[in-house]
Copies of this chain bind each other. A is one copy, B any other.
Amino acid sequence: MSNRAEQTEGRGGVSRVEAFSDGVIAIIITIMVLELKAPEEEDLSALWHLWPTFLAYVLSYAYVAIYWVNHHRLFSHARRVTSGLLWSNIALLFALSLVPFSTAYLGEHHFARDPTIVYLVTMLLPAVAYAWLQGEIMKVAECSAADQRYLIATRRKGQAATVVYFLGVPLAFVTPWLGIAAAALVAVFWCLPFSRLDALFLPEDCAA
């Protein structure tokens, strides 16, 4: 019976999951700016003290925006809503909802070692949930060769990003800035348009 409910919902049901996800991601990305508090001093020099909070905001904004872009593309392949899709999506939104917390922690402590490690770990959690979501959507995606290729390429790209974040943790023990550099590298890498770089992640053939 659950199966039946899922099948009759179709793309309409998918739209509502997208809309809810958009709402949650929009709030996550926007409440981070609340950390950027207006300085009590009037002159411009007081603004410079905000740079760690601002830099942490820029990094996390880019991070969440990339997740939104990928989420957007991934869901365009979903044909119907399943329990697995719903719960993996809810897990992803939960993981992303921790980003404002670790961003505030990172900014307030001026990119110190421990907050940097916490930040990188928080960046890893959504990757795990996203991999789960991707698996669930591939189960119900249309099996056109191009779709499969796209999904496989993005999965590999996501795995590469996860490895970089993971390597960032020991690097942050050396100096936090190496950890931050790892996070920034992944952001730049995802923002680049689909190009030669992506070719690295494309499967040899479509018989996935």
Contacts and interface: CB of A to CB of B under 8 A. Distances in A.
Contacts of A26: 20, 23-24, 26-27
Interface in A79-136: 83-84, 86-87, 90, 93-94, 97-98, 100-102, 104-105, 108-109, 112, 114-115, 117-118
Contacts of A117: 44
Contact of A22 (B12, B19, B83, B153): B19
Interface string A27-70: 11111011011111011100100000000001001000100110
Given A9-B76, A33-B100, A65 B83 contact: no
| Oligomer copy total | 4
Nearest to A101: B36
Range for the number of chain A residues in contact with chain B: 35 or more
A17 B31 CA distance: 19
22 contacts: A1-B150, A2-B193, A4-B146, A5-B146, A18-B19, A19-B19, A20-B26, A22-B23, A23-B23, A26-B27, A27-B30, A33-B98, A33-B101, A36-B98, A38-B102, A42-B109, A44-B117, A47-B118, A58-B94, A65-B94, A69-B86, A69-B90
Interface of A: 1-2, 4-5, 8-9, 12-13, 16-20, 22-31, 33-34, 36-40, 42-44, 47, 58, 61, 65, 68-69, 72-73, 76, 83-84, 86-87, 90, 93-94, 97-98, 100-102, 104-105, 108-109, 112, 114-115, 117-118, 146, 149-150, 153, 191, 193-194, 198, 202
